[in-house]
Structure 1
Amino acid sequence: MPAEQPLVPVTSPTAVPAAAGTVTTTSSLLVTDDGSGPMACRNGNWQDLSPPACQEFAITGWDWDPAWDFEEKDGVRWGTFQMVGTFDGETFAVDEVSQPEPEPYESDFEIPCPTPDGGWQVADPSRTTQDAMLGLGNVAEDIPGFAMVAVSTSAGQPGPRDPMDAVVSLYVAGDPAAAEEIVREWWGGMLCVTQVEHSHDELEKVQMALLDIPGMNEVGSGNTDNQVDLVVLNDDGSIQQWVDQEFGEGVVVVESNLRPVG
């Protein structure tokens, strides 16, 4: 039997990789044009600017269609579009442009604990108050191994205003029993404590290390999957391979904004 070949180390990405073949954007991009040619980007603080500034990558083959929904001010045109075309790492050559309606937000949150026998029950109504619910964040953050906290209804819907209908889901990388004991000193409402692999502090360090990745559009770690989500303009697989090597498999999940058509 031949010996296994050693894994070839992958270096930290230094440029946005080119895309193979025809690709499509997975969400709408901001496109701006100040007269010197259209530029595009996915994220940023441009929502508060009028006109916005956006210079992530250049676009060729673009022609502003009067039928499109876009704005114009001080000689700058801008709008949000989805595109199909090719990308060489610096320039997107457009074949098709569309402006689909944004999809409505739908929560996919599930309480990570099974429903107790008899359903979710408030343990102590005297400590199930608005003040107790609002102060939970500060209490939870001091728990050893704290990862995150989420508040939902007993049906898993987000944002209940009534503390008596709120299930607090606490995620900890430490001892769940010890964490529950600490929280119960403050909160008497419905409570789920679940153990995860990585603490908030651990994932935050990983998140900070990814801020300078070329083409980085968004990075965050406050999710119930207990991982860092990294959104980049394009990943040909090398970025995911590098983060797996650097931080361990499953710690960072890379989402590419450009994906092969079909």
Structure 2
Amino acid sequence: MRTTVAIAALVLVLTACGDDGGPSTAVDRADPGAAGGATTAPSRPTGSPASDGPVRSRSLATVMDVGGGAKLCLGPVAESYPPQCGGPRITNWDWSTQRGTFEAQGDVRWGTYAVTGTWDGTAFTVTEAVPGALYDPAPDEKSPLPEPSRDYSQAEAETLATDLGSWLPGVQGAYADGEGHVLVDVVHDDGTLQGYLDRTYGADVVVVTSALVDA
């Protein structure tokens, strides 16, 4: 009888301890490299972040139209004639307002512009376009890159660059710089992509450069 009562009491104590609202063994923390306890991996971004307000191209961009509507080329442009490039759609481009500022061959039209407008995550709406011939950019003073918080070999960094180039939303290019960083160019980032990459691979390992910046 005493043994039965003791076991019943122990069961009650353990049940009460499990229902007291205390901390779970799983830690809800975004940084998989944080110390202590289990971690929850951050959610992978599935789209290019939209802009909260007006944005502009960081440098001159090529507007390309091969007959299906204008696109904003913010990445590499093939040096052919006519040139070849790809990018997001421009919702409201009007070539008739840009006379004398672009070239044409058949149905293909293209020109370089410093553009300002809005970005909804998939398309760009232009509010101002300054032709390249009239664009006078301010000097670009680049700051030195911060020391990466984790050590990756060159081979690991190159593998990471290849992986990011295959899925990161809006990616225009990714490569390892040979100094422990992976440099990634994207159409637009408001900090969302950089934050995910910092939490996933370590702070300042992957450095994101956004082609569209706050105007």
State whether TM-score is above 0.5: yes
Q: 1:107 to 1:245 in 2, by over 3 A?
A: closer
Q: Give the 4+ runs in structure 1 shifted more than 4 A.
A: 101-109
Q: Could you tell me how far 1:258 is from its partner in structure 2?
A: 1.1
8 Å contact kept, 1:83–1:96: yes
Q: Could you tell me how far 1:107 is from its partner in structure 2?
A: 9.9
2:151 maps to 1:205: no
1:42: which partner in 2?
A: 74
Q: Decide which of 202, 207, 214 is 1:253's aligned counterpart.
A: 207
**d(CA) in 2 for partners of 1:108 and 1:234?**
20
SS of 2:162's partner is helix
Q: % of aligned pairs identical?
A: 34
**d(CA) in 2 for partners of 1:107 and 1:238?**
22
Q: Decide which of 86, 89, 111 is 2:118's aligned counterpart.
A: 86
2:169 maps to 1:218: no
1:29: which partner in 2?
A: 61
1:66: which partner in 2?
A: 99
Q: Could you tell me how far 1:31 is from its partner in structure 2?
A: 0.9
SS of 1:236's partner is coil
Q: Could you tell me how far 1:61 is from its partner in structure 2?
A: 2.8
The one-letter amino acid of 1:36's match is: G
The one-letter amino acid of 1:94's match is: V
Length, aligned pairs only: 169
**TM-score, normalised relative to structure 2:** 0.68
Q: Could you tell me how far 1:238 is from its partner in structure 2?
A: 1.6
8 Å contact kept, 1:51–1:74: no
**TM-score, normalised relative to structure 1:** 0.57
The one-letter amino acid of 1:217's match is: Q
SS of 1:48's partner is coil
Deviations 1:73-127 (A, max 9, x none): 1221112222101011111110111122578999999xxxxxxxxxxxxxxxxxx
5+ residue gaps, structure 1, are: 110-195
Aligned-residue RMSD, C-alpha: 2.8
5+ residue gaps, structure 2, are: 1-22, 31-40, 145-149
Q: 1:43 to 1:12 in 2, by over 3 A?
A: same
Q: Could you tell me how far 1:204 is from its partner in structure 2?
A: 1.2
